[in-house]
């Protein structure tokens, strides 16, 4: 299990660097990220969320998709958008509707460095875009207008404060 970095940590706001070594270190990291994702009951997890500033995320949608995306690039997004509620393991306890393109085409590399392309819609398209944003230091609350973003941060801080006082 890896520690999940939360709102306020610098690594979550930085642009991540491409992965150049497809070695056992990468496989170990990806295995640990999948484990952490399962434990946290999430759909996706990006490397900066575990404190690693590399262009990598993993997605696990039960029965549909379990894959690591290394150095992903979004090649195409649909003009048609969809709005759905999102949350983030790095901002636990808050959710908000986010509008995103309904479909995306993404190209990435697997753990051997081999390129693959995925055409996604629905939850997978949303997860890919959410995780891809993490690699550019963008959180889902950054996609909201300023007022709504502020409300989310406040709600999160209130929740965190509450948790801290309980554990004292
Ligand atoms: Zn997230």
**Per-residue model confidence as pLDDT tens digits over 98-128:** 999 999 999 999 999 999 999 999 999 999 9
Residue 79 belongs to some domain of the structure: yes
Which pLDDT score, from 0 to 100, does residue 76 have?
A: 98
Whole-model pTM: value is: 0.94
User: Is the per-residue pLDDT at 87 higher than 80?
Assistant: yes
> Does residue 166 lie within any of the structural domains?
no
Domain membership flag for residue 32: yes
Question: Measured in angstroms, how far is the CA atom of residue 80 from the centroid of ligand 1?
Answer: 23
pLDDT of residue 159: 84
> What does the pLDDT read at residue 127?
97
| Among 108, 110, 130, CA closest to 119 | 108
| Residues near 46 by beta carbon (within 8 Å), at least 6 away in sequence | 56, 57, 131, 134, 135
Q: Domain count of the chain?
A: 1
State the distance from the centre of ligand 1 to the C-alpha of 88, rounded, in angstroms.
4
Please count the other Cβ atoms lying within 10 Å of the Cβ belonging to residue 28: 10
Q: What residues make up the domain containing 18? A: 10-160
Compute the distance from residue 20 Cα to the ligand 1 centre, in Å: 24
Residue 163's pLDDT is what?
A: 61
CA of 153 to the centre of ligand 1 (A): 14
In this predicted structure, what is the pLDDT of residue 43?
96
Share of the chain above pLDDT 70, in %: 96
CA of 64 to the centre of ligand 1 (A): 19
Asked if the model's pLDDT at residue 58 lies above 80, the reply is yes
**pLDDT confidence tier of residue 1, bands split at 50, 70 and 90:** confident
Is the per-residue pLDDT at 2 higher than 70?
yes
Is 144 domain-assigned?
yes
Residue positions annotated with a catalytic role: 131
Residue 164: what pLDDT? 53
In a domain, 4, yes or no: no
50 located within any domain: yes
Which of 68-72, 158-162, 163-167 is modeled with the greatest confidence?
A: 68-72
| The pLDDT value given to residue 160 | 82
167 in any annotated domain: no
Residue 116: count other Cβ atoms within 10 Å of its Cβ.
12
What CATH number did the domain enclosing 117 receive? 3.90.45.10
Q: Rounded CA gap, 127 and 20, in Å?
A: 24
Separation of alpha carbons 40 and 138, rounded Å: 21
Round to whole Å and give the CA distance between 43 and 49: 13
Compare 158 and 113 and report the one with higher pLDDT. Answer: 113
Residues with CB under 5 A from ligand 1 (ion): 88
Percentage of the chain exceeding pLDDT 90? 90
Distance 159 CA to ligand 1 centre (A): 17
In a domain, 56, yes or no: yes
Whether the Cβ atoms of residue 131 and residue 46 lie closer than 8 Å to each other: yes
């Amino acid at each position: 299990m890896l520690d999940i970095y939360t709102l306020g940590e610098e690594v979550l706001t930085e642009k991540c660097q491409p992965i150049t070594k497809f070695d056992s270190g990468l496989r170990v990291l990806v295995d640990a990220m999948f484990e952490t994702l399962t434990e946290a009951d999430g759909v996706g997890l990006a490397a900066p969320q575990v404190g690693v500033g590399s262009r990598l995320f993993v997605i696990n949608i039960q029965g549909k998709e379990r894959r690591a995306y290394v150095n992903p690039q979004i090649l195409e997004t649909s003009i048609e958008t969809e709005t759905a509620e999102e949350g983030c393991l790095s901002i636990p306890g808050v959710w908000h509707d986010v509008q995103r393109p309904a479909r995306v085409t993404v190209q990435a590399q697997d753990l051997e460095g081999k390129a693959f392309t995925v055409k996604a819609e629905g939850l997978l398209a949303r997860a890919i875009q959410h995780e891809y944003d993490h690699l550019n230091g963008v959180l889902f609350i950054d996609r909201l207008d300023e007022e709504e973003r502020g409300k989310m941060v406040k709600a999160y801080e209130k929740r965190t404060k509450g948790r801290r006082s309980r554990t004292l």
